[in-house]
Structure 1
């Protein structure tokens, strides 16, 4: 996993893009991973790692967005005190 393509890693580390569009960015990461395999830049094991990382990034972004939304709701006192 030390030899993953730099452009793919840059995309993975773009937290703003991931938080803005988790589904879309995960799709881009997956497409980039398959393209890297076709070009011979990575092997099958690297592809599996890249796809797992893309899915993990998607889930991280979705969870983070949910936590931010919950905090904003609590701040606005739209939820009862016990929900915050």
Structure 2
């Protein structure tokens, strides 16, 4: 698989922008995680960040995914979506009541 982020001029700036793009984190938490991880690795490969900063970026990436999943769950609970799998990519995890399930 060819990374989608190779042509990004400044991966660190793009990573920061994507972390703050809350709507995308809610609508596709797993997809955004993949993109954020690629950008973090690219920033490291281009010597924009050191190993410690990369580690922090990857931790923030995981936290952003978890936040997106929780917000998605809240949207389901509030009735913002017709069904729990609305708009979710196959394999995406979400909360259905009190248990974690995967979108089919």
- TM-score of the two chains, using structure 2 as the length reference: 0.64
Q: What are the ranges of 5 or more consecutive residues in structure 2 without an aligned counterpart?
A: 1-10, 81-104
> What residue is the counterpart of 2:69 in the other structure?
62
Report the Cα offset of residue 40 of structure 1: 0.5
Which residue of 3, 11, 19 maps to 1:12?
A: 19
> What residue is the counterpart of 2:53 in the other structure?
46
Q: Across the two proteins, how many residue pairs are aligned to each other?
A: 71
Larger Rg: 1
Are residues 1:72 and 2:72 paired?
A: no
Where relative contact order (Cα < 8 A, 6+ residues apart) is larger, the structure is 1
Q: What are the ranges of 5 or more consecutive residues in structure 1 without an aligned counterpart?
A: 74-84
More strand by share: 2
Are residues 1:32 and 2:44 paired?
A: no
